[in-house]
Amino acid sequence: MAHYISAAAKVTECYECGEIVLCEVLIADSPEAETGYRDEYALCEGCKNGDPRKEPFGPTDIFGNDWRN
């Protein structure tokens, strides 16, 4: 299992919600042996803090009801 280290924040696609925003980037501390690829994991501030408005299907519950009303 790879360990991740924090890198500089950058505007990229969030791994959780898919939005292109300023994200905290975590990079694997060691590259894969076969390919040399270093895994990156980017999370925006909302997803990192568990923002309920960042649900993958938008602001709805499992029945399709908009929770903002």
Q: Give a yes or no: residue 69 inside a domain.
A: no
**For residues 33-55, average pLDDT:** 79
Degrees, nearest 5: CA angle 5-54-27: 15
Is 65 a member of any domain? no
What is the structure's pLDDT at 10?
92
The verdict on residue 60 lying in a domain is no
Comparing CA positions, the residue from 55, 46, 50, 44 lying closest to residue 12 is 44
Full domain range(s) for residue 37:
4-54
Residue 59 lies in a domain: no
Domain count for the chain: 1
- pLDDT over 70 for what percent of the chain? 70
Residue 46 domain flag = yes
Written as one string, the DSSP assignment of 5-50 is: EEEEEEEEE-TTT--EEEEEEEEESS--TTT----EEEEEHHHHTT
